[in-house]
Each structure stands twice: as C-alpha cells, then as structure tokens.
Amino acid sequence: MKKEIAKILMVIALLAVVLLAIDRISGMQQREEAAMVRDAVHEAALTCYAVEGMYPDSVEYLREHYHLAYNEERFLVTFDAFASNKIPNIYVTERGAGAP
C-alpha cells in the first residue's frame, strides 16, 4: 500500500513539474512576441525618420504610411512621441497583462 501511495505521489510531483515548465515556456514566448512587436514599431519609426526627417507622432501614422502590422487585439502599443527629432518611447504590453 505504501509503495502505491509513493508511486501516486511521484506521478503527481512529475505532473506538477511538467505543468510548471509549460507555464514558464509560455511566459517566455509571450515576452519574446511582445519584444518582436516593439522592435517592429521601433524599426518603422526609424524608417519614417530616415525617409521624412522626423519621427512619427503616432502608431496609426506608421500603420497607414509604413504598413506596420501587429495583432492589435492581443497587444497594446503605447507610443510616447514628445518631439519630432527624438525617438518616441515605445511600450508594448499584452492586453489583459497589466499596464505598460
């Protein structure tokens, strides 16, 4: 009887370790995807500056004129443009994951 309980506890412990590993991998993937969106916005802003001589004032401008695309339902991009000659602060968060 004790051996059966020990086996059950081992299986439960192994299952817990697997579930924790899956959760950690999923979190890393989400952070990497958000970083890719941030990099895409950053590159589009740099392209705009190279072409027009000034940084854009909004993400919408980049979408319209530089074909920036990302999953807007999943990611929230905060674009803080404070001067046309300074690169904007770009924050990307996954919707429902908290403030930028």
pLDDT tens profile 1-29:
888 888 888 888 888 888 887 878 777 88
pLDDT tens profile 30-72:
888 899 999 999 999 999 999 999 999 999 999 999 999 999 9
DSSP collapsed to 3 states, 60-82: HHHHHHHCCCCCCCCEEEEEECC
pLDDT for 100 beyond 50: no
How distant is the alpha carbon of residue 68 from its chain centre?
15
Q: What is the mean pLDDT of residues 89-96?
A: 89
